[in-house]
């Protein structure tokens, strides 16, 4: 059975009674006496549960020392050389985490420090995590994204996670696993309306210069056509670096130009924004990418854009959903 590995650091004092079957040095003890020890946990992809399988010793903010057989998936066959230094994907240091971004891309993330990657675990194919959507940080426990990113046959909370503080796809930054999500009640797959979701993380999102809270549109805000908005994202074109493009808002009928193979007629009364993407370069939009006016998020790129039917881009008009977002967070 395929398994993936991670480290769990003991960041709080042990207050509960120490169970007699888990001992260190032959007698009960506490983490205060051995603060350098951490647990190595394994994800059972069959049950979707994590369990402690080995131990390790903290060497630096990014590396631990443990037994090699804990990470190569092979049973222990000999005692010699059974040792490994393992580098983590994230740092326990807030300062070091903020430096994970590649220098050539840092300026885009500095402009949009509220933007984060939403990753999926491909349990049906590669058994790996990969960035599939974008999201915006609402507060230290919630992010905002498209409902299409956290619904459907592949969705379970344990198969989604957030990577904040990195402008490079699938690497760097700080990872936060998903606890739950709330999709807007009007959302339906391949529809236009209600493609908005609030996602709650398991851990606390700690702010750094490259991990910041987003500002969102005031309730009832109106975005006219002919307005230039920023669209930060990684895009579906295989690029690794975060980039920013301008989109030009358009009347809704511009997004309804059809090529004839999408059955639902475009409903001009739905709560969406439409825009014309750049024509000379590949679009950088992800599902869940924000459209921003200045530093304020006014739209969320929807999953319906992946259908490939429309010439324009469609995003949720966030001002129509702000009150729902705030109530979902609170």
Q: What per-residue confidence (pLDDT) applies to 65?
A: 84
Q: 155-187 pLDDT, tens per residue?
A: 888 889 999 999 988 889 999 999 999 999 988
| 37: Cβ contacts below 8 Å, ≥ 6 apart | 10, 24, 31, 55, 56, 57, 58
Q: Of residues 44 and 188, which shows the higher confidence score?
A: 188
* 221 vs 280, residue with greater confidence: 221
Of 90, 83, 152, nearest in space to 124 by CA:
152
What local confidence, expressed as pLDDT, does residue 278 receive?
Answer: 66
Question: What is residue 102's predicted lDDT score, i.e. its pLDDT?
Answer: 36
pLDDT at 130 over 90: no
Specify the pLDDT at position 53.
82
pLDDT per residue as tens digits for the range 76-92: 556 667 787 776 544 33
pTM: 0.67
- State the average pLDDT over residues 48-64: 78
Q: By C-alpha distance, which of 28, 55, 53 is closest to 42?
A: 53
Position with higher pLDDT, 62 vs 193: 193
> Residue 127: what pLDDT?
73
Q: Is domain 215-319 in CATH 2.40.10.10, yes or no?
A: yes
How high is the pLDDT of residue 100? 36
Instruction: Give CA–CA dist 276/291, Å, rounded.
Output: 12
Q: What stretch(es) of the chain map to CATH 2.40.10.10?
A: 95-213, 215-319
CATH of region 95-213, choose from 2.40.128.50, 3.40.50.300, 2.40.10.10, 3.30.479.30: 2.40.10.10
Check if the beta carbon of residue 102 is closer than 8 Å to that of residue 168.
Answer: yes
Asked if 275 and 320 count as a contact pair (C-beta separation under 8 A), the reply is: no
Residue 86 contacts residue 63 (beta carbons within 8 Å) = yes
């Amino acid at each position: 059975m395929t398994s993936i590995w991670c480290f769990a650091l003991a960041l709080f004092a042990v207050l509960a009674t120490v169970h007699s079957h888990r001992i260190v040095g032959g007698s009960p003890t506490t983490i205060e006496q051995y603060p350098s020890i951490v647990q190595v946990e394994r994800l059972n992809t069959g049950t979707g549960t994590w369990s402690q399988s080995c131990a390790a010793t903290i060497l630096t903010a990014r590396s631990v020392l443990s037994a090699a057989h804990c990470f190569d998936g092979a049973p222990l066959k000999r005692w010699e050389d059974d040792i490994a230094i393992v580098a983590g994907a994230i740092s326990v240091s807030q300062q070091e985490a903020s430096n994970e971004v590649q220098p050539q891309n840092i300026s885009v993330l500095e402009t949009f420090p509220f933007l984060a990657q939403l990753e999926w675990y491909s349990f049906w194919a590669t058994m790996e995590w990969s960035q599939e959507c974008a999201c915006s940080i609402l507060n230290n426990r919630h992010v905002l994204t498209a409902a299409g990113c956290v619904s459907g046959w592949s969705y379970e909370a344990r198969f989604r996670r957030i990577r904040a503080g990195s402008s490079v796809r699938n690497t760097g930054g700080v990872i936060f696993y998903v606890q739950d999500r709330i999709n807007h009640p009007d959302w339906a797959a391949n529809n236009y309306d209600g493609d908005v979701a609030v996602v709650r993380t398991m851990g606390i999102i700690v702010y750094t210069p490259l991990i910041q809270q987003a500002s969102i549109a005031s309730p009832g805000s109106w975005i006219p056509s002919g307005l230039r908005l920023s669209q930060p994202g990684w895009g579906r074109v295989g690029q690794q670096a975060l980039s920013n493009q301008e989109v030009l808002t358009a009347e809704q009928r511009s997004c309804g130009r059809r090529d004839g193979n999408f059955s639902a007629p475009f409903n001009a009364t739905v709560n969406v924004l439409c825009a014309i993407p750049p024509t000379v370069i590949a679009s950088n939009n992800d599902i869940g990418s924000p459209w921003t006016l200045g530093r304020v998020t006014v739209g969320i790129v929807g999953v319906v854009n992946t259908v490939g039917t429309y010439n324009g881009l469609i995003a949720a008009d966030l001002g129509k959903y702000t009150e729902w977002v705030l109530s979902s967070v609170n």
